[in-house]
Amino acid sequence: MPQTSTLYEKLGGEETIAKVVDYFYELVLADDTVNHFFENTDMEKQRRHQTKFISFALGGPNQYSGLSMAKAHEGMNLQPEHFDAIVKHLHDALAHFGVPESDIDTALNKVATLRDDILYK
């Protein structure tokens, strides 16, 4: 029988992903290489957006109605080291919740496809 469940379903849906996102932002906000990007950010709104975005990236429903990636990061001039730091924190947050490395790789590969829309804007 073919395996049809998405990574989103496997992880436990939006409720679990919201927990991952909370932990992810704890890591991000403790990291001086990237936390300044969030100084004037409404973190509650940011967490909600990120939960919907990551849910969609992991094969869940597309409820993400935010700005395009390029628009959302406009004027930030994000560099590769910033992107890499965020990816590392996402990896660590997923690992913290017991997500297998192979599934983390799948998720991070999806995130990697956005690199060009996020960097140097």
Q: Does the residue 4 lie in any domain?
A: no
Q: Does the residue 111 lie in any domain?
A: yes
Q: pLDDT tens, 86-101?
A: 999 999 999 999 999 9
Give residue 77's region: left, alpha or beta (phi > 0; psi -120 to 50): left
Q: Does the residue 3 lie in any domain?
A: no
Q: pLDDT tens, 17-58?
A: 999 999 999 999 999 999 999 999 999 999 998 998 888 878
* CATH number of residue 114's parent domain: 1.10.490.10
Annotated binding residues:
49, 73
Say if pTM beats, i.e. exceeds, 0.75.
yes
Single-letter amino acid, residue 21:
V
Annotated binding residues for heme:
49, 73
Given 3-state DSSP classes, what are the helix, strand and coil percentages for the chain, each rounded to the nearest 5?
65, 0, 35
